Amino acid sequence: MQENAFDPPFVTLHECCNNKIIMMKLLLVIAIIGFVAEAESGSCPTLPPGTIGTCDVRCQSDSECRGSKMCCSNGCGYACMDPALQDPTDEDIEPDFEILMEPFDIDATEEEVPVESASCPTLPPGTIGTCEVRCQSDGECQGSKKCCSNGCGYVCTDPVLY
């Protein structure tokens, strides 16, 4: 059968989905490179051992801080601080392409909770948890858990749905 020059080429469902997966992986690579470039600008300063700051949580993410300041632990709470600049290494800026080339699971089995409908639980006044930082963003938590303050540090917690 001869193809008409004006007929669109035949694309199978498999080819269509593979193209979408390739595009999604490409976007992921771009996002990783952007994240690494942002991380190159600095990180939270290292606190001397035994440092205990005020247990106020004045920020929960870098986006709440002005300019180049970052939301960092002060030894108990969180505050906007100037980043400690460091020289990036090649390891810091090279994404792991082997992981990106693994098959992509289109049929996610775990139900995802929309960000708008979930939030960190409200702590009773005076609550002070352990002053450990076990996460810095929701992306570091498994499943639908969120990175929330426990009154001093940050831990992955089941969100409150509303």
Beta bridge partners of 70: 81
Query: How confident is the model at residue 100, as a pLDDT?
Result: 54
Q: Give the model's confidence band at 11: pLDDT under 50 very low, under 70 low, under 90 confident, else very high.
A: very low
14 band by pLDDT with thresholds 50, 70 and 90: very low
- List, as own/partner pairs, every contact residues 58-64 make where C-beta atoms lie below 8 angstroms and the sequence separation is at least 24, other chains included: 60/149, 61/137
| 9 or 71: which leads in pLDDT | 71
95-138, pLDDT tens digit by residue?
555 555 555 554 444 455 454 567 888 888 877 788 888 898 88
In whole angstroms, how far apart are CA 152 and each of 38, 39, 59? 26, 24, 12
The predicted pLDDT at position 156 comes to: 92
Residues 5-27: b if buried by 16+ CB within 10 A, e if exposed: eeeeeeeeeeeeeeeeeeeebee
Indicate whether 13 pLDDT > 50: no
